[in-house]
C-alpha cells in the first residue's frame, strides 16, 4: 500500500515539475520576445530625423496645409514628411509614431487596409512577435483625416505596448499627462485627452455604447453622441470637451475586468 502511495506521489510530483518547467519556459520566452521587440523599436526610433539629400525634398508645407515649413520627400508616389523618410522606406505600411510622456508608449504605428490585423502579432518587419505593433483600424483615414482615428495595441504583462494606457484610470496621472503626440507621414499632431474608460466589446444582442464603430459623424448630433458616450464612462471629470469638426484619436487595448474587456483613451487634436 505504501509503495502504491509512493508511486502516486512521485507521479503527481513529476506532473507538477513538468507544469512548473513549462510555465517557466513560457514566461522566459514571453519576456525574451518582449525584450527583442523593445530593442527593435529603439532601433527604429533612432531612424527618425535621419538626414536626406536636399534634392529629395519636393515640397515645403505652407499655411492651411501641414505645419508651415515642414518638409516632405516623395517616396514611390507618396509624399512623406522628411523626419519619417527612412522609416517609410523600410516599410510602406508605416503611417506614424505615437508617444505619451512618462510612459512606455513610444512606438511606430502601422496601417494595412487589405488586412487590418496584420500587425497584431507581427513586428515592424512582418516577423512573428507576441507584442505585435500598434495598428490603425481599417475604417480610419489618417491622411484626410477621418473624424476619429482608432489605434489598437496589446496590453502586455511586461508593461509594454499599450499597457500604460491603464494609468489614465488615475485622475492624478491624467492631470499630469493630458497630451498625446501622434505624428504621421502627413504631418504632426498633439492631442488632448478628453475621456478614459473601461468597457467591453458587445455581442450582437447587447445594447450599449460601441466606441469601436465611430469613424465619421453623419452630423453634429452623431459626433456629440460619441463624445458624451465616452465621457459618461470616464470615472472622473475631464473639463476639456470636443466640438463637431474636431479630429479625435482613440487608443484601445485589452482589459481583464470582464470578458472581451477594453480600456480606451480618447483625445482631440489641438489646433496649432
Q: How far apart are the first and last CA of the chain?
A: 82
Residue 128 belongs to what domain range?
91-267
Same domain as 134, residue 78: no
Q: Which of 218, 15, 185 is nearest to 110 (CA)?
A: 185
d(CA 42, CA 32): 15
Q: Are residues 159 and 115 in the same domain?
A: yes
Task: Note whether residue 71 is domain-resident.
Answer: yes
Q: Does the residue 134 lie in any domain? A: yes
The C-alpha angle 220, 224, 226, rounded to 5 degrees, equals 120
Q: Do 26 and 147 belong together in one domain?
A: no
pLDDT at 72: 95
Give residue 18's pLDDT.
52
Half-sphere exposure of 174 (CA within 13 A, CB side): 21
Q: Is 235 exposed, middle or buried (0-12, 13-18, 19+ CB in 10 A)?
A: exposed
Same domain, 4 and 127: no
Same domain, 75 and 96: no
- E-state strands within 32-105: 57-60, 71-75, 78-81, 94-99
- The pLDDT assigned to 23 comes to 46
| Catalytic residue set | 154, 254
d(CA 183, CA 217) in angstroms, rounded, equals 23
Model pTM score: 0.87
Domain boundary among 54, 70, 89: 89
User: Are 105 and 198 part of one and the same domain?
Assistant: yes
Q: Note whether residue 272 is domain-resident.
A: no
Spatial CA neighbour of 94 closest among 128, 123, 58, 68: 123
Say yes or no: 107 and 78 in one domain: no
What is the C-alpha separation between 31 and 157, in angstroms, rounded?
A: 9
Question: Looking at the 3D structure of the chain, how many domains does it have?
Answer: 3
Say if 214 falls within a structural domain.
Answer: yes
The verdict on 56 and 108 lying in the same domain is: no
Q: Are residues 160 and 256 in the same domain?
A: yes
Q: Is 5 found in the same domain as 133?
A: no
Q: What is the pLDDT along the chain (272 residues), one digit of tens a residue?
A: 555 556 655 555 555 565 554 544 544 555 566 578 799 999 999 999 999 888 788 889 887 667 888 999 999 999 999 999 999 999 999 999 999 999 999 999 999 999 999 999 999 999 999 999 999 999 999 999 999 999 999 999 999 999 999 999 999 999 999 999 999 999 999 999 999 999 999 999 999 999 999 999 999 999 999 999 999 999 999 999 999 999 999 999 999 999 999 999 999 999 87
Residues 137 and 256 in one domain: yes
Same domain, 228 and 114: yes
- At 55 the pLDDT is 78
Amino acid at each position: 500500500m505504501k509503495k502504491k502511495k509512493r508511486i502516486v506521489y512521485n507521479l503527481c510530483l513529476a506532473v507538477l515539475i513538468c507544469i512548473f518547467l513549462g510555465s517557466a519556459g513560457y514566461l522566459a520566452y514571453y519576456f525574451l520576445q518582449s525584450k527583442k521587440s523593445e530593442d527593435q523599436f529603439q532601433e527604429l526610433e533612432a531612424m527618425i530625423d535621419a538626414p536626406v539629400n536636399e534634392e529629395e525634398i519636393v515640397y515645403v508645407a505652407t499655411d492651411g496645409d501641414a505645419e508651415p515649413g515642414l518638409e516632405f520627400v516623395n517616396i514611390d508616389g507618396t509624399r512623406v514628411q522628411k523626419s519619417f523618410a527612412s522609416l517609410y522606406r523600410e516599410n510602406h505600411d508605416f503611417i506614424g509614431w505615437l508617444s505619451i510622456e512618462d510612459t512606455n508608449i513610444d512606438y511606430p504605428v502601422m496601417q494595412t487596409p487589405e488586412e487590418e490585423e496584420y500587425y497584431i502579432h507581427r513586428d515592424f518587419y512582418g516577423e512573428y512577435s507576441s507584442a505585435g505593433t500598434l495598428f490603425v483600424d481599417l475604417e480610419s483615414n489618417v491622411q484626410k483625416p477621418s473624424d476619429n482615428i482608432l489605434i489598437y495595441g496589446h496590453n502586455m504583462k511586461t508593461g509594454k505596448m499599450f499597457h500604460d494606457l491603464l494609468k489614465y484610470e488615475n485622475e492624478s496621472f491624467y492631470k499630469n499627462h493630458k497630451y498625446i503626440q501622434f505624428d504621421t507621414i502627413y504631418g504632426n499632431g498633439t492631442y488632448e485627452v478628453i475621456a478614459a474608460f473601461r468597457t467591453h466589446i458587445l455581442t450582437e444582442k447587447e445594447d450599449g455604447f460601441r466606441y469601436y464603430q465611430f469613424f465619421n459623424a453623419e452630423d453634429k448630433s452623431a459626433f456629440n453622441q460619441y463624445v458624451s458616450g465616452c465621457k459618461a464612462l470616464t470615472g472622473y471629470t475631464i473639463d476639456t470637451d470636443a466640438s463637431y469638426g474636431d479630429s479625435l484619436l482613440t487608443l484601445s487595448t485589452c482589459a481583464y475586468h470582464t470578458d472581451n474587456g477594453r480600456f480606451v483613451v480618447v483625445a482631440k487634436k489641438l489646433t496649432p
